[in-house]
Chains A and B, each alone.
Chain A
Amino acid sequence: MSQTQDITVTINGETIHATVPVRQNLADFLRNGQGLTGTHVGCEHGVCGACTLLMDDQTVRSCLTLAVQADGASITTIEGLGARPDTKALKAAFTNRNALQCGYCTPGMLASALEYIESGAPADRTAIREHLSGNYCRCTGYQSIVDAVCETIEGRQS
């Protein structure tokens, strides 16, 4: 059996009260407890980046964050990214450049890319590649993802 604790967390703008096993990580809580299966689990040791989401507007690895640690926090998963101003353009760029194949890394990749875009950083391919270097994609070769981020930034500036 697992010890549990009550938490209150805002998920994609909605306030949620839940009782969670204290050992449950945030990714498992979102997926299994909340049915928000858009957050993907790829390694459970914080390396692959698939489970990256926004907690209080910062990217975190949800496999390395306990659900209880999210008590009082605001979580944005891929299901809720649409409320952010640059998301629409970024998703369009991902679609038009095929910056995703299997789509498994995509939720984490979008979160990391948005963090970069929202910071106001330039469309610098090297800097983008470094920023995304904690998000593993086995399908694309990364180039189209970098292209999509650049396109979004350039569109934002014009």
Chain B
Amino acid sequence: MKAQDFRYERPSTMDEALAILADTDQEAQPLAGGQSLMPMMNFRLAAPDVLVDLGGVPELSGICEDNGEIVIGAMTRYRDLMASEMVARDVPLLAAALPHIAHPAIRNRGTLGGSLALSDPAAESPAVLLALGGSVDLRSASGQRSVAADEFFFGLYETARQPEELITAVRLPKAAPGHRFGFYEITRRHGDYAMIGVAVAQAPDWRIAFFSVAGTPLRATDAEAVLNADASDIDAAVAALASLEIDGDRHGDPAMKRHLAGVALRRAIGGMS
């Protein structure tokens, strides 16, 4: 189980990284924390011709506030997010999700940007982004853009990011007084990808994002509408999950997963603060 050969590039600036991505006509893959990409490469499920290691680009890391948003550099590692007082205070939903992400050695390396770029449908971060209504900053050699969470996730491992683009940062709205958040996931073992999970925000409108339900994280818009009308009508919100298009997987058929989605939603709401 050894990775296929590749050309290794380790740019030291973002412009250099973007230039490499723009110049190559081969398949180039940015390497962030490597905690999802490297397993795929070892299995030879991914075999990029060029691997662009972003570990030497300091400007991609860091956490700051910008105009009511918390801006997290794509290469910011989970470990640093967990240690961040700003994240704990201003993005409590992300803070709640972080301990559920894998294990310490993975969080020491894994990055928020990398997770979003690969967009594993069972991963926590994409759902957090979706529930918060954040956005993803993308940049290529020819320009930059910001894509809202609702437009970012296309399909299984597919996102709005183009091959020549890098995720540079993730923008998450800062929590305001009165905003409430909840997170719940059901895993068979601590740190596993979830059987099902949900991130919930009431900020002040409700946004509910499930993960491990389909090829992408899914917003439960019907349930959100129920709660926007009556935040106490949780039974109706759960019933509204009937409209979610949920796929089965090895943990259960769609009916089982829909049932778990309801349980997770109740528990997430029950634990909101």
Contacts and interface: CB of A to CB of B under 8 A. Distances in A.
Contacts of B103: 49, 133-135
Given A23-B3, A133-B191, A134-B191, A68 B105 contact: no
Given A65-B34, A134-B104, A46 B39 contact: yes
B146 interface: no
Given A44-B39, A115-B104, 19 more contacts: A1-B5, A3-B6, A22-B6, A23-B3, A25-B42, A28-B2, A45-B39, A45-B42, A58-B108, A59-B104, A59-B108, A60-B108, A63-B42, A65-B38, A66-B38, A68-B53, A130-B190, A133-B189, A135-B103
A133 B104 CA distance: 9
A5 interface: yes
Contacts, number: 92
A28 B38 CA distance: 14
A5 B10 CA distance: 11
A22 B8 contact: yes
A69 B53 contact: yes
Interface of B: 1-8, 10, 34-35, 38-39, 42-43, 51, 53, 55, 79, 102-106, 108-109, 189-191
B206 to A, nearest CB: 31
B105 A59 contact: yes
A5 B8 contact: yes
A66 B5 CA distance: 12
13 contacts: A22-B5, A22-B8, A22-B51, A23-B2, A44-B1, A45-B1, A45-B39, A49-B105, A58-B105, A59-B104, A64-B35, A69-B34, A134-B103
B35 to A, nearest CB: 6
A61 B105 contact: yes
B138 to A, nearest CB: 24
Contacts of B3: 23, 25
Given A45-B39, A115-B104, A134-B106, A68 B10 contact: yes
A112 interface: yes
B270 to A, nearest CB: 22
A39 B220 CA distance: 45
A88 interface: no
Interface string A59-93: 11101111011010000000000000000000000
Contacts of A125: none
A28 B55 CA distance: 20
A87 to B, nearest CB: 18
Q: Place the interface of chain A in its size category.
A: 35 or more
A22 B41 CA distance: 13
Interface in A13-66: 21-23, 25, 28, 44-47, 49, 52, 58-61, 63-66
A138 interface: no
Given A64-B39, A69-B53, A133-B189, A23 B4 contact: yes
B104 A131 contact: yes
Contact of A25 (B38, B53, B79): B38
Contact of A2 (B1, B5, B106, B109): B5
Contact of A68 (B8, B102, B106): B8
Contacts of B79: 58
Contact of B8 (A3, A47, A63): A3
B193 to A, nearest CB: 11
Given A59-B108, A68-B53, A112-B104, A45 B5 contact: no
A61 B104 CA distance: 10
B54 to A, nearest CB: 11
Contact of B5 (A23, A131, A133): A23
